Structure 1
Amino acid sequence: ELAKPFPLIKPFVVDATIYHNAGAGDVHELGYAVAVGVEYVRALVDAGLTADEAFGQIMFRVSATTEQFLTISRLRALRTLWNRVGEVLGVADEHRGAIQHAVTSLRQLSRDDAYVNILRATIATFAASAGGAEIQTVLPFDAVAGLPSDFSRRIARNVQVLLGEESNIGRVNDPAGGSWYVESMTAQLGEKAWEVFQSLDADGFAAKLADGTVAAQLDELVATRAELLATRKLPLTGVSMFPNYTETPVDAKPRPAAPELGGLGVTRDAQVFEDLRDRSDKAREDGNPPKVLLACLGTRRDFGGREGFTSNLFQVAGIETVVAEGERPLDFARRLEATGAKVAVLCSSSALYKQQGLATARALKEAGAERILLAGQLSELGSEEAKGAVEGNVFDGMNVVDLLDSTLNLMGVSK
């Protein structure tokens, strides 16, 4: 009754961002959104509204992510699925539209290298517009660090203004329509999400949420995503890739303590890497800066690529990398003793690994190195004896979280 004088107001919001931030992927966010929407429709019909009137009271709040085409396809698929629900319930064609309020993903925001969040927001905003979102909200780039500043709020507004006024992204209806790639992805998302919806709808979404079914599904999705993040198959610029651990953090006022409400929490992608960085920062403040020695054999052309890769890897956790260049094993041993590093990594080419790898590893071990690693594959050392002189290797696709956690543990850096 209160909403009748205001026909454009949608008093009931299906907030799918809750499930997205708790770990849901595109398929499950879409399936959950439809399931919650159906719950609302049933409740409103039970309260005396017609199905047409119930549809007119509902709006969807959805996430917009840096996965540009998935976001576009998901928003398009939601309209298709909601139209399908309306068709089954006998809702008139003109009332079946799914009004969508897209919010840039909180899960994808990072505390470290926060200005990269502006790029993330720009991609997500473009995707939401191309996907047909009627309303958009851009989260400020410092939202994770604390309360947004006037500057970050202005940048968030300007992202929308620039895309709208200069790129004209809101002037074309369904710009992705007709693209085979997007149409195919939209159809596939819709089919998979409908399966998720049907698996929950028999008992009702509220019942499945209460009995832990939804939480169990989210836990499985979070574990799968955590593996992709840890192996950097899902890279985070400025966090798990190309980190700047000496940066000056964003200055933001802390948020007031929020009440404990229970329910689903937020699982941010960058959190595990930020926790590692915090451990290193605390150790540095306590006078125990974590360091790793990079024993770079030969000339820059021999070790340059692997030195850069290895430095990048350890700096993800805020661990300082000390580059030692030389030809003789004794040079590296002396440098290790001077720095007090407990971990050393051999960086060079396959040819030099075969020639100097074993001798250098032995010299580092005698100088006090507690762990010696190799940048590359162990087979590059040649002999089995040389392979036994190192404890492991660093390579693209490895679980960097496990490596960095164990390295900090070895250095005595507390959690």
Structure 2
Amino acid sequence: MDMPQDRSSTKAPPERLLAEFPVPSLEQWYQEVVRLLKGAPFEKKMLTPTVEGITLKPLYTADDLAGLEFPTVMPGDSPFPRGTRLLGFREGAWLVAQELPYPTYDELNAALRFDLDRGQTAVNLLLDRATQAGLDPDMAKVGEVGAGGTSIASLIGLARALDGVDLEQVPILVQPGSAALPFAALLVAYLRRHRKDVTKLRGSLGMDPLCGLVSLGKLPVSLGRAYDELTLLTRWAAVHAPAVATLAAYGFPYHDSGASAVQELAFTLATAVEHLRQLDRRGVDVETAARRTLFGLSVGSHFFMEVAKLRAARMLWARVVRASGGSEAASRMTLHVRSSSWNKTAYDPCTNILRATTEAFAAVLGGCDSLHVAAFDEALGLPSELGRRIARNTQTILRDEVHLDALVDPAGGSWAIETLTAQVAEKAWALFQQLESAGGMLAAIEKGLPQRMVGEVAEEREKAFASRRESLLGVNVYPNPTEARPVRRQPDYAALHAARSARLQALRCSQEHGENVRVLASLQHILDSRSDELFESLVSAAERGATIGEFAKTLRTGDAPGPDVTAVRIHRAAEPFEALRAKVEQWRESQAGGPQVFVAAVGSLAELMPRIDFTRGFFEVGGLAVDASATFATAEEAQAAAVGSGAPIVVVLSTDERYPVLVPALAAALKAARPEVLLVLAGYPKEHIDAFKPVGIDEFIHLRSDVHATLVALATRIGVRS
């Protein structure tokens, strides 16, 4: 079919819509905004600083793109800001790769088969902490088996986990920790036993030694041996499983410790470069290694910043690979994205549905290749079937109802997103170069450099949440005071450890297991082999019943655990408020009942309602019951009601104009009637602070308060204990 000709040079320009109205200039817009601000500084009200060191403008124009070359790049063209494929998702939608962190392989299989029939398009297999460390259940501690994923130690377990799943048709993504090589042997043994073509396997067995190191503080294997195993697996896959990534660079631990988007991107890029260097020293060229690298990034609440981060990631990886001698094809990033864990909440968990939806939207607009959307109850432990369904259907709606798979880079051309892409790329590249100057990512981690950087940003963000300059809906603002305390769904780790250990002991007593022990013993002599001989021997042992732990023990004979480093602090932003609220609610159960906070509001409801709402919300985020049901005409009425309430905390509340007369009299009367009561003033009248404290005011609450610290102090004083 002939393409339509471009006749723009001969065709008259179209008439501008609403041409009778003049087009205002940017300066005219600015002057009108200044007028509407009524004296408030434009820079303070309209410019938004971020933890990335980027200041967001309220309005972007084509002038912001001046000097940038990449906005003119077409989809599928290097450096790939608009995606690595010419037609984007029209060539195939992103993979719906939902995590199913169930501890046993039977639970995993049931959930996996159920979800694959209802919209999931890829297996996203999380292995438990023991398996990732190369430990069988009977070698691991209680609390490691089933923690964070599925316990799979042998071919029998893997077969049960994947029963009914055709891996020639369904891609598989695995986060194997330090057990990538042993797990790959199990997987290949499984495929061969079921007469599946290994060359048709798609997905990732991506191992990221630095992710494990910075997450846990140490590895169960030396870094040298980890990269040796990774090298062997990469060589084997390049020939026998060409569509499988064997290297991974995960930004998850940084994101989930509170890192900025710039930090997450820079540290992930530096991790990937460290992998390239380590494999190059072992004889694997950049072309081979880069083609088999999977990137894993998280996407948080800041929609435009996160879209820009994913676009910038592809650009920077393309720059690195081309500068390292790799081809354009090798510089195409494969990008797995998961929605953030950092911003999810245990209280009011349904708000997580909204957070995850915007994050999924950002991930798709940013051009992810596969995506996990967190279940709304992920912060409570194992996801419920309802949580899985809503998360999975979020992706289905974006694809089948919003039709994001019908568009090629819908974010392209947005002045705001293109500008942010350039700014994120510039700052991430500068931070990446700083890490390179420190000796590369491994050296930087050993020095604690990225850990300190993330810690500093996390502290800044935590202060913003504590003072409510940043919001977590349902946690530090707009809590639901009638909500029941969250029930966490965790496995019975002791029972799980006992059951899995007993099953492994039964396997070790079998006749086939004796044969695999002899096979494993023979591996001692070929550990340095660069041929397929070692991997094929591993597969052979797996077919005879060898376990992950036995593989790891054999492969790592004479090895020592990796270096000890400072681990990042993986946590959720809501945890301080959630911990406080849980303690207060538990304490309330031991009390006689009634409010913990009584609001002694003097004045009319109309004039006091904003301050009453603020006060109620201030205390309710800490789990304290608030009585703000009435206002009082006089201080005497307020005093009588406050004394009668029995509340250990009384808030004196009125207008700033009334405070100079009201506070001394009311505070003195309340303290005389109930000396133990804690008096809090709603507001912060600066000129009267020193006068109000001696008459009995114990605390002040206001817009600039550190809400968390104030509530902790007050809760402690009324008897709440850790």
TM-based fold match above 0.5: yes
Contact in 1 for aligned 2:602/2:638 (Cα 8 Å): no
What residue in structure 1 maps to residue 335 of structure 2? 100
What residue in structure 2 maps to residue 162 of structure 1? 397
Can you list the C-alpha shifts for 1:343-387, whole angstroms capped at 9, x where unaligned? 221222234435533322222222225432222232586x97457
What residue in structure 1 maps to residue 702 of structure 2? 395
What residue in structure 2 maps to residue 53 of structure 1? 288
What residue in structure 2 maps to residue 266 of structure 1? 570
In structure 1, distance between residues paired with 2:641 and 2:615 = 18
What residue in structure 2 maps to residue 314 of structure 1? 619
Within 5 Å, give how 1:69-148 maps onto structure 2. Answer: 69-148=304-383
Structure ID, larger Rg: 2
What residue in structure 1 maps to residue 237 of structure 2? 3
Using the size of structure 1 for normalisation, the TM-score is 0.93
Can you list the C-alpha shifts for 1:183-204, whole angstroms capped at 9, x where unaligned? 1111111111112111112312
Contact in 1 for aligned 2:615/2:682 (Cα 8 Å): yes
Q: Tell me by how many angstroms 1:69 deviates.
A: 0.5
Q: Tell me by how many angstroms 1:338 deviates.
A: 2.5
Contact in 1 for aligned 2:321/2:327 (Cα 8 Å): yes
In structure 2, distance between residues paired with 1:364 and 1:17 = 53
Within 5 Å, give how 1:4-403 maps onto structure 2. Answer: 4=238, 5-202=240-437, 203-249=439-485, 251-255=487-491, 263-287=567-591, 291-323=596-628, 324-368=630-674, 370-379=677-686, 385=691, 388-389=694-695, 390-403=697-710
What residue in structure 2 maps to residue 409 of structure 1? 716
In structure 1, distance between residues paired with 2:656 and 2:585 = 35
CA distance 1:303–1:255, shift in 2 (3 Å): farther
Q: Tell me by how many angstroms 1:252 deviates.
A: 5.0
In structure 2, distance between residues paired with 1:392 and 1:409 = 13
Q: What SS does the corresponding residue of 1:10 show, helix, strand or coil?
A: strand
Paired residues, number: 413
Contact in 2 for aligned 1:334/1:367 (Cα 8 Å): no
In structure 2, distance between residues paired with 1:283 and 1:334 = 26
In structure 2, distance between residues paired with 1:331 and 1:391 = 21
Can you list the C-alpha shifts for 1:259-290, whole angstroms capped at 9, x where unaligned? 9x984342211001001101111111222667
Contact in 2 for aligned 1:12/1:59 (Cα 8 Å): yes
For 2:325, give the aligned amino acid: G
Task: Mark the runs of 5 or more structure 1 residues left unpaired by the alignment.
Answer: none
In structure 2, distance between residues paired with 1:172 and 1:112 = 37
Contact in 1 for aligned 2:258/2:457 (Cα 8 Å): yes
In structure 1, distance between residues paired with 2:492 and 2:358 = 30
Can you list the C-alpha shifts for 1:213-234, whole angstroms capped at 9, x where unaligned? 2222222112111111111111
**Deviating more after overlay: 222-231 vs 164-173:** 164-173
For 1:367, give the aligned amino acid: A
Task: Mark the runs of 5 or more structure 2 residues left unpaired by the alignment.
Answer: 1-234, 498-563
In structure 2, distance between residues paired with 1:85 and 1:257 = 44
Identical counterparts, % of pairs = 31
**Deviating more after overlay: 163-172 vs 16-25:** 163-172
Can you list the C-alpha shifts for 1:167-212, whole angstroms capped at 9, x where unaligned? 1223323222222211111111111111211111231211221232
Contact in 2 for aligned 1:109/1:144 (Cα 8 Å): yes
Q: Tell me by how many angstroms 1:255 deviates.
A: 4.0
What residue in structure 1 maps to residue 539 of structure 2? none
Contact in 1 for aligned 2:246/2:293 (Cα 8 Å): yes
CA distance 1:235–1:370, shift in 2 (3 Å): same
Contact in 1 for aligned 2:247/2:289 (Cα 8 Å): no
Contact in 1 for aligned 2:451/2:567 (Cα 8 Å): no
Contact in 1 for aligned 2:656/2:685 (Cα 8 Å): no
Using the size of structure 2 for normalisation, the TM-score is 0.55
In structure 1, distance between residues paired with 2:307 and 2:459 = 25
Contact in 2 for aligned 1:132/1:173 (Cα 8 Å): no
In structure 2, distance between residues paired with 1:404 and 1:288 = 21
Q: Tell me by how many angstroms 1:256 deviates.
A: 5.1
Contact in 1 for aligned 2:599/2:642 (Cα 8 Å): no
In structure 1, distance between residues paired with 2:492 and 2:330 = 41
Contact in 2 for aligned 1:298/1:352 (Cα 8 Å): no
Q: Tell me by how many angstroms 1:50 deviates.
A: 1.9
CA distance 1:408–1:80, shift in 2 (3 Å): same
**Deviating more after overlay: 392-401 vs 136-145:** 392-401
Contact in 2 for aligned 1:71/1:127 (Cα 8 Å): yes
For 1:280, give the aligned amino acid: V
CA distance 1:229–1:288, shift in 2 (3 Å): farther
Contact in 1 for aligned 2:600/2:639 (Cα 8 Å): no
For 1:319, give the aligned amino acid: L
TM-align CA RMSD: 2.2
Q: Tell me by how many angstroms 1:257 deviates.
A: 5.0
In structure 1, distance between residues paired with 2:670 and 2:345 = 37
Contact in 2 for aligned 1:103/1:136 (Cα 8 Å): yes
**Deviating more after overlay: 32-41 vs 326-335:** 326-335
CA distance 1:186–1:256, shift in 2 (3 Å): farther
Question: Runs ≥4 in structure 1, deviation > 6 angstroms?
Answer: none
In structure 1, distance between residues paired with 2:479 and 2:678 = 24
